[in-house]
């Protein structure tokens, strides 16, 4: 199969897109995974997902021999994760769940990450990320926010890059988030402007770019082809398709450096596969088109560089994580930072349904918390008069034994820490929430 082009096609024309749940537009019925030989003219289309009612999201293993995909056996089945051996085209189910499990991506060390619909109290009906072995064992949840996470891919540095959107208490703006495969150090990677939506998994190129499809409201179903630099993702957006009429739906890379995009010129056309030169920003030749189908996404079967296999600091025997903030007065807007510098004195830590505690910041603005792990929380800053200064932060969680540091509250993500000893770490951390911590400690001591 080396060199074959695998793609997903849909006879039903793209319409009625629901970008909030991320489901209907990405997982429509009767989609098929098929393969062609792109080097052969008039190559016959080989249907790889014949045994399935609908299949999507093909992902090729690093050795080029296997393919993870998402599929429904029968019309009303939940979407599940499968793996196909590309040498003999046999498939086996990797994940078996009553809920939808979608968007798999290979991880180094014979593992994968995927999104699963979670209906528990902390997730509030969003899709959480899970990891497991390729044989389906050792399933671990790695995100714990009331967010939905979709379309994960793996960066060369070994971290998971994923589309995230807050679902509780309000629907938030989509972001590209990055986290380690053990769920630690989750942080923002790229933020969209209000009204924009990410349509595709991000693909990382050999020259340090991340390329994905970003939709603005003016476009019907597709979006623009956008790149950001890995080295400075928050401030390097480049619309690669700004001079091109039409819409893009997905993008994938080839080892040659060229991209394959799913593109259509107008509403009247179907999405087809084209070459795209990201350096020259030129749409190239059509690779595959079929007037009976929209081509939703594609991937080339070839061996790929294995991303770094990151070590894990998670220790499930430990029930808490630790958070250090260097100075709550450091905020993104430096002018505002100066004006309120002397006023901030406390933080309020809020869980999903309750206040976890109010903690006094040290004289230098630092605080040091030990918080029950795998529970989401948010922080707001309060001045000495009890007045709210900075509203709620994004949701944060800490994994068991995770230790995280931040420079300030709502801080500039491009700021490195000052080299100084925060007063807060000269003392023991403040444990939150107090009542739960007491119970945990009591249990440990009784053991």
Partner 1 sequence: MGVLIALGLLIYFPGRKMAREHVNTKTAVSDHPLLCSKCHLYTSENALVSKLLNEDYYSPFNLAISKDGSRLYVVAQEANSLLVVDVEKQQIINKIKVGNQPHTVILSKNGQKAYVSNQWSDNVSVVDLIAAKVVDTLKTGNGPAGLSLSADGQFLYVVNSYASTISLIDLKSGEELKRFTTGNNPTGVNLSPDEKTLLITSRRAIIAPYGEPVVSELTEIDERTQRVTNRHNIESAYMMENVAFTPAGDLAIVSLNRPKNLVPSIQVEQGWMMNYGIAIVEQKKNGRVIQLLLDEPNAFYPDPFGIAITPDGKKAFVSSSGVNCISVVNIDSIRSLISKSTTEELNSLSNNLGISDHYISKRITTGSDPKGLVISHDGKRLYVAEQLEDKIAIINSETFDKIGSIDLNGPKRITVNRTGRRLFNNSGHTFQNQFSCYTCHPDMHEDGLVYNMAAKDMGRNLTNTQSLREIHHTPPYKWNGKNQTVYKQDGIRFSTVLTRTEQFNYPDLDAITAYILTGIQYPPNLQFNPSGVLTKSQQQGKKIFERKTDNYGAAIPVNNRCITCHNPPYYTNLKLADVGTLAASDDSTQFDTPHLNNIYASAPYLHDGRAATLEEIWTKYGQTDKHGKVNDLTKIQLNDLIDFLKSLRAPRYEKKSTK
Q: Which stretch binds partner 1 (CB under 8 A): 139-147, 228-236, 269-277, 353-361?
A: 228-236
Is 188 near partner 1 (CB under 8 A)? no
Is 193 near partner 1 (CB under 8 A)? no
Binding partner 1 by CB under 8 A: which of 64, 158, 172, 284? 158
- The Cα–Cα gap between 213 and 209 comes to 13
Is 413 near partner 1 (CB under 8 A)? yes
Measured distance between the N- and C-terminal CA atoms of the chain, rounded to whole angstroms: 56
Judged by beta carbon, residue 79 or residue 189, the one nearer partner 1 is 189
Nearest Cα to 150, choosing from 26, 31, 233, 59? 26
Q: Which stretch binds partner 1 (CB under 8 A): 89-97, 110-118, 224-232, 242-250?
A: 224-232
Nearest Cα to 18, choosing from 172, 192, 199, 201? 199
How far are the Cα atoms of 200, 383, 406, 431 from residue 259, in angstroms, in the given order?
A: 14, 51, 36, 50
- The Cα–Cα gap between 172 and 164 comes to 9
Q: Which stretch binds partner 1 (CB under 8 A): 34-42, 69-77, 253-261, 418-426?
A: 418-426
Binding partner 1 by CB under 8 A: which of 70, 80, 326, 345? 326
Is 311 near partner 1 (CB under 8 A)? yes
How far are the Cα atoms of 83, 115, 263, 322, 349 from residue 68, in angstroms, in the given order?
A: 4, 13, 24, 36, 40
Q: Which stretch binds partner 1 (CB under 8 A): 30-38, 127-135, 256-264, 405-413?
A: 405-413
* Token code pair at residue 19: 């970008």
Q: Which stretch binds partner 1 (CB under 8 A): 10-18, 20-28, 167-175, 319-327?
A: 319-327
Binding partner 1 by CB under 8 A: which of 388, 420, 434, 444? 420
Is 357 near partner 1 (CB under 8 A)? no
- The Cα–Cα gap between 193 and 235 comes to 12
Is 279 near partner 1 (CB under 8 A)? no
Is 316 near partner 1 (CB under 8 A)? no
Give the three-state DSSP class for 377.
strand
- How large is the greatest C-alpha to C-alpha distance in the chain, in angstroms? 74
Least CB distance to partner 1 at residue 373 (A):
15
Neighbours of 128 (CB within 10 A): 22
* Token code pair at residue 165: 């959107």
Cβ atoms 283, 360 nearer than 8 A: no
- The Cα–Cα gap between 209 and 251 comes to 13
Binding partner 1 by CB under 8 A: which of 419, 445, 446, 447? 419
- The Cα–Cα gap between 298 and 104 comes to 15
Token match 């080989």: residue?
A: 46
CA 26 to chain centre: 15
Q: Which stretch binds partner 1 (CB under 8 A): 165-173, 388-396, 423-431, 435-443?
A: 423-431
Is 421 near partner 1 (CB under 8 A)? yes
Print the binding letters for residues 109-148 with partner 1: x by CB under 8 A, - otherwise.
----------------------------------------
Is 368 near partner 1 (CB under 8 A)? yes
Is 16 near partner 1 (CB under 8 A)? no
Least CB distance to partner 1 at residue 230 (A):
6
Residues that bind partner 1 (CB under 8 A): 108, 157-158, 185, 187, 230-236, 308-313, 322, 324, 326, 334, 368, 403-405, 407, 412-422, 425-429
């Amino acid at each position: 199969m080396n060199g074959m082009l695998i793609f997903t096609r849909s006879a039903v024309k793209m319409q009625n897109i629901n970008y909030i749940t991320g489901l209907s537009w990405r997982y429509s019925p009767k989609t098929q995974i098929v393969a062609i030989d792109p080097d052969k003219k008039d190559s016959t289309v080989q249907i790889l997902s014949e045994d399935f009612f609908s299949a999507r999201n093909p992902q090729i293993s690093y050795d080029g021999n296997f393919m993870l995909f998402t599929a429904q056996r029968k019309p009303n089945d939940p979407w599940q994760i499968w793996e196909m051996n590309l040498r003999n085209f046999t498939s086996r189910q990797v994940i078996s769940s009553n809920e939808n499990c979608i968007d798999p991506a290979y991880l180094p060390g014979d593992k994968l990450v995927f999104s699963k619909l979670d209906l528990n109290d902390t997730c509030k009906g969003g899709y959480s990320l899970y990891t497991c072995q390729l044989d389906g064992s050792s399933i671990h949840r790695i995100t714990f926010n009331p967010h939905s996470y979709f379309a994960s891919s793996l960066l060369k540095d070994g971290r998971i890059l994923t589309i995230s959107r807050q679902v509780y208490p309000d629907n938030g703006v989509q972001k590209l988030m990055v986290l380690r495969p053990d769920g630690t150090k989750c942080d923002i990677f790229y933020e969209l402007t209000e009204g924009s939506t990410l349509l595709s998994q991000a693909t990382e190129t050999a020259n340090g770019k991340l390329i994905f499809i970003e939709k603005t409201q003016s476009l019907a179903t597709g979006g623009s082809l956008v790149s950001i630099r890995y080295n400075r993702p928050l401030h390097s957006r480049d619309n690669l398709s700004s001079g091109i009429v039409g819409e893009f739906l997905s993008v994938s890379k080839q080892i040659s450096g060229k991209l394959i995009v799913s593109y259509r010129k107008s509403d009247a056309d179907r999405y087809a596969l084209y070459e795209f030169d990201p350096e020259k920003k030129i749409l190239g030749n059509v690779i595959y088109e079929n007037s009976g189908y929209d081509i939703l996404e594609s991937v080339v079967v070839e061996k790929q560089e294995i991303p770094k296999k990151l070590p894990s600091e998670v220790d499930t025997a430990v029930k808490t994580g630790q958070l250090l903030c260097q100075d709550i007065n450091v905020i993104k807007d430096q002018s505002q930072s100066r004006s309120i510098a002397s006023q901030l004195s406390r933080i309020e830590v809020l869980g999903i349904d309750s206040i976890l505690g109010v903690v006094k910041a040290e004289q230098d603005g630092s605080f040091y918390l030990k918080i029950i792990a795998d529970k989401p929380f948010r922080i707001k800053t309060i001045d000495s008069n009890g007045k709210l200064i900075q509203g709620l932060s994004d949701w944060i969680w800490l994994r068991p034994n995770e230790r995280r540091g931040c420079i300030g509250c709502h801080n500039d993500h491009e700021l490195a820490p000052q080299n100084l000893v925060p007063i807060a770490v000269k003392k023991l951390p403040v444990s939150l929430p107090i009542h739960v911590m007491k119970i945990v400690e009591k249990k440990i001591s009784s053991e």
